[in-house]
Amino acid sequence: MFVYSGGNKEIKVMEVKVSLVIQSNLDDAMIEMSSNPTLAHERLSFIKYLIHHYSDTQTKIMVDLVYNKFKEYSITNHQLY
């Protein structure tokens, strides 16, 4: 676990294996396909981003930080992965 300090806030962040993040997002995307296809598509795009950047899915990442990088990439390139 890492602790980040910024201003008056302290945020505790836990590292998670990429494989678990992929599995979790796939499960959520399957559920959301009919109820919220836009969110399901974003989850699938995030999974593609993870696979492209972390070929070793046993690597541990801080999901929120990596997700923010994914969103920055998506906005900068005007597209989802």
Is 43 within the bounds of a domain?
A: yes
pLDDT for 23: 98
Q: How many domains does the chain have?
A: 1
Full-model pTM: 0.81
Cβ-contact 39, 32 below 8 angstroms: yes
Q: Label residue 13 by pLDDT band (50, 70, 90).
A: confident
For the segment 17-39, the average pLDDT, to the nearest whole number, is: 97
Range of the domain at 20: 16-76
In a domain, 20, yes or no: yes
**DSSP result, the chain:** -EEEEETTEEEEE--EEHHHHHHHHHHHHHHHHHH-HHHHHHHHHHHHHHHHH-SSTT-EE-HHHHHHHHHHHHHHTTS--
Residue 10 is predicted with a pLDDT of: 72
Is 3 inside a domain boundary? no
Is residue 9, in this structure, part of any structural domain at all? no
